[in-house]
Amino acid sequence: MAKKIQAIRGMNDLLPAQSPVWQYLEGSVKEMLAGYGYDEIRMPILEQTALFKRSIGEVTDIVEKEMYTFEDRNGDSLTLRPEGTASCVRACEEGGLLYNQTQRLWYTGPMFRHERPQKGRYRQFYQVGVETFGIATPDIDAELILMTARLWQQLGLSDAVTLQLNTLGSNQARADYRDALVAYLKEREDKLDDDSLRRLETNPLRVLDSKNPETQALLQDAPELHDYLDAESREEFDTLRKILDAAGVKYEINQRLVRGLDYYCKTVFEWVTDKLGAQGTVCAGGRYDGLVEQLGGKPTPAVGFAMGVERLILLLETLEVIPPEVMQTIDLYVCGVGAGADLAGLLLSDRLRSEQPWLRIQTHCGGGSFKSQMKKADKSGAVYALLLGESEIEAGQVTVKDLRGGTEQQTISQDELLGWLTDNMS
């Protein structure tokens, strides 16, 4: 036998048994986004490498270590998108969506990062991203956060997630703070590990993210970002907090939250859970007022976030909050044995579909005994099996068997079936 070819590490198939949960989550998110008046945008998964280098930042983990970059047949450097914000800005600019307009957009699809795979961290993973353009005031930051809080509520996740909130201030404020932090850390260089020493040279704010307990202890007395904030950022952050307070959305201010992508300014936030181990951030984002200009457009305020679909699915499963009806994907299983049963089964199913399009019907194909067909009916998850034997077919009848207990098996005319199903299933 030929050797089997396996999937690429960190890139997972989504098998049929998992699809209903994905559809449930994606459906809930789409419904919510429609409820807030957001429009869908779809971008390609490949972009020019320069797009990500210029937006995410040359000295970030993503660009330095994690991108899937290759030369195509023309010798152009292309990259599988590691995130959606840069592509979304490029697409909006190219499509003329940012000229004197506001936009509220969302997208979904796979993203690619060459990270070390573990639970909740994959090399191909799915995000739902939401981006807004042209609105400079913090009411829109608040709307995005309220939207996510509503989603957690709807999905039954509220008790398992907390909101971490910070403001990075204007670019100038951040630069001043960076200088102060570098001066502080340089005096204590001998206590820093290699990773922090490297970050100190390339991207000092990322030292705040260090997982090393010694570094965290050292940071206790370091200069605080909020002491360097400009008045505008401070006021906007206060307004955001007031709206969240009034709406009853709880949050923790975390001055160490700086995010791993360079384009952020002012508001940044992360929804985190302690139920998934190390990969606990399920949704993250913030304001990126400078990015459109950095990519060649006119200065345009922007704010958005992205949620990790796999992590949210893991959380739904861990908390066991998936409604049982989500997993039930078939209502009726139509079985038939004897002369003409295959034709009768297909015709009956078709008639039911025409008359009641909401019914989900699987018609048995491939023959076999009643017993084997009933086994399949049971495994399908259907609520009722409809049985067609020769006598039923001749008399224009059908036998209805309740697969989940409850009602007695009964034989009724096919004309009556529809009324019976409406009475018993809706």
Enumerate binding residues for ligand HAM (CB under 6 A).
83-85, 113, 115, 121-122, 125, 127, 129, 131, 281-286, 288, 304-308, 310-311
Kindly tell me which of 152 and 384 has the beta carbon lying closer to ligand HAM: 152
Kindly tell me which of 129 and 223 has the beta carbon lying closer to ligand HAM: 129
The minimum distance between CB 109 and ligand HAM, in angstroms, equals: 12
| Alpha carbons 55 and 288: distance in angstroms, whole number | 10
Kindly tell me which of 205 and 306 has the beta carbon lying closer to ligand HAM: 306
| Residue sitting closest to ligand HAM (CB) | 308
Kindly tell me which of 62 and 185 has the beta carbon lying closer to ligand HAM: 62
Kindly tell me which of 282 and 337 has the beta carbon lying closer to ligand HAM: 282
Enter the tokens of residue 23. Answer: 């559809």
Query: 268: Cβ–Cβ under 8 A, 6 or more apart, which residues?
Result: 165, 166, 167, 168, 257, 258, 259, 284, 285, 286, 287
The minimum distance between CB 308 and ligand HAM, in angstroms, equals: 2
Decide if 288 contacts 265 (C-beta within 8 A). yes
The minimum distance between CB 61 and ligand HAM, in angstroms, equals: 10
Residue with tokens 């906007």: 236
The minimum distance between CB 6 and ligand HAM, in angstroms, equals: 20
109: left (phi over 0), alpha (psi -120 to 50) or beta: left
The minimum distance between CB 166 and ligand HAM, in angstroms, equals: 14
Kindly tell me which of 308 and 389 has the beta carbon lying closer to ligand HAM: 308
Enter the tokens of residue 275. Answer: 């139920």
The minimum distance between CB 110 and ligand HAM, in angstroms, equals: 10
Strand order in the sheet with 46-48: 46-48, 77-80, 68-71
The minimum distance between CB 276 and ligand HAM, in angstroms, equals: 10
| Alpha carbons 306 and 282: distance in angstroms, whole number | 9
Kindly tell me which of 181 and 312 has the beta carbon lying closer to ligand HAM: 312
| Alpha carbons 185 and 180: distance in angstroms, whole number | 9
- Give the dihedral of Cα atoms 233, 234, 235, 236; nearest 10 deg: 50
Q: Are strands 46-48 and 77-80 parallel, antiparallel or unpaired?
A: antiparallel
Q: DSSP characters for 276-313?
A: STT--EEEEEEE-TTHHHHTTS----EEEEEEEHHHHH
Kindly tell me which of 63 and 284 has the beta carbon lying closer to ligand HAM: 284
The minimum distance between CB 331 and ligand HAM, in angstroms, equals: 34
Identify the bridge partners of residue 127 per DSSP, sorted by sequence position: 109, 308
